[in-house]
Amino acid sequence: MGSGELYRLVETIAQTVIDRHRRRLGHKARTIILDFDPTDDPTHGQQEFAFYHGHYGTHCFLPLIGTISFNQEKRQSLLCAVLRPGDAGAALGFIPILERLLPKIRAAFPTARIRIRLDGGFAVPSVLDYLDGAHVQYIVGLSNWPTLKKAAHKAQRLALQEYKRTGQTTQIFGETQYQTKKTWPHPRRVLFKAEVVDYPGREPRQNLRFLVTNFKMTAKRAYEFYCLRGDAENRIKELKQGLELGRTSCSSFRANQFRVQLTAAAFVLMQELAAQARHTAYRDAQVTRLRDRLLKLPVWVEESVRRIVLHLPSRFSAKTDWQRIAFAVGGASP
């Protein structure tokens, strides 16, 4: 498979997900939330573009996973999974991916506002400049730079005083306008959380966090919204543990990219299966449970010249739910 075909495959998967939600929500989609995260894919041979990554402490690839969610819904849908070299920075390839996704999303949901959440690895000038010009709302993690720590010093002191008074975990939120000397063309809104965390039987720990954003909401509310991105990591765990995203043992990088797309397509199908199971006991099930309870069934295969018949067991624990889901996805009763 050539690079052009791989590119079209990535686009097709994304368009399939967008079209599915357009049919489901239409004009009811008021807010669209995009989360992007890199993850490690350890390698164990002579795979092309496998490099040592200091943060993960292993030779690996570094796939970039993108998810999409709507309104107040908690569940994210996989939007894209792109394999990258093991020495890639978190933001490598992010802008080209977003340049292709945003027009598709806006065409499907022209009145919805788009919000993007990213961790600190994406807080590079090129990404922030692009987001400023892309007419989206964004919130991105920042490192604890000395100038920012100085701006939050008073809040840290107040949090520590409040902790000493109450003996309980304390949070103080605030914000400042900040501009780097050379790489930021204009001041940006930076939020901070000064926290003292209580650990029973241990010394309290001070926790200082910074975010750069163009949100208009309060610092506390924006930080709480940012923390919700942690659930997108569960989708990555499903990809890795439920569908073996890391099966990238081919020597060719292009072949491994194709394997990643097969896994992404399988995950899209599994998420559609979970959606069709919304009126059953499997409405919130993750991939592993769906596979173990609904797909891994013993069958008797009867083959003739004209047809192949799969005879399912007459009794199994999930039979009623299985039948409901089968009808939901278009199955017909005999």
How far is residue 155's CA from residue 161's CA, in Å, rounded to a whole number? 10
Which DSSP category does 230 fall into? G
Q: Are 325 and 294 in contact (CB under 8 A)?
A: yes
Which DSSP category does 122 fall into? G
Residue-wise burial string across 204-242, b where 16 or more C-beta atoms lie within 10 A, e elsewhere:
beeebbbbbbebeeebeebbebbeebeebeebbebbbeb
DSSP-H helix ranges across the chain: 3-25, 94-108, 125-133, 146-151, 153-166, 219-227, 232-237, 253-276, 287-290, 319-328
Tell me the longest C-alpha to C-alpha distance in the chain: 82
- Cβ neighbors of 164 (< 8 A, separation 6 or more) are none
Q: Where are the domains of the chain?
A: 3-140+211-276, 287-328
pLDDT of residue 334: 59
Q: Are 270 and 290 in contact (CB under 8 A)?
A: yes
CA distances from 124 to 219, 222, 280 (A): 22, 20, 45
C-beta neighbour count of 189 within 10 angstroms: 17
CATH of domain 3-140+211-276: 3.30.420
How far is residue 277's CA from residue 282's CA, in Å, rounded to a whole number? 6
Write out the chain's pLDDT in tens, 334 residues: 678 889 899 999 999 999 999 999 988 999 999 999 999 999 988 899 999 998 889 999 999 999 999 999 988 999 999 999 999 988 999 999 999 999 999 999 999 999 999 999 999 999 999 999 999 999 999 999 999 999 999 999 999 999 989 989 999 999 999 999 889 999 999 999 999 998 887 888 889 999 999 999 999 999 999 999 888 888 999 999 999 999 999 999 999 999 999 999 999 999 999 988 888 988 888 899 998 888 888 889 999 999 998 888 888 888 888 888 888 887 766 5
Residue of 68, 214, 226, 37 lying closest to 132 (CA atoms): 214
Q: Are 270 and 243 in contact (CB under 8 A)?
A: yes
Strands 205-213 and 137-142: antiparallel
Q: How far apart are the first and last CA of the chain?
A: 40
C-beta neighbour count of 87 within 10 angstroms: 15
Q: Are 97 and 64 in contact (CB under 8 A)?
A: yes
How far is residue 99's CA from residue 299's CA, in Å, rounded to a whole number? 46
pLDDT of residue 97: 95
Q: Are 123 and 116 in contact (CB under 8 A)?
A: no
CA 220 centroid distance within chain: 22
pLDDT of residue 327: 86
How far is residue 58's CA from residue 20's CA, in Å, rounded to a whole number? 38
| Residue 132 φ/ψ, nearest 5 degrees | -60, -35
Residue of 72, 126, 54 lying closest to 94 (CA atoms): 126
Please tell me the pTM assigned to this model.
0.91
Task: List, in sequence order, every residue forming a beta bridge with 197; answer none if it has no partner.
Answer: 205
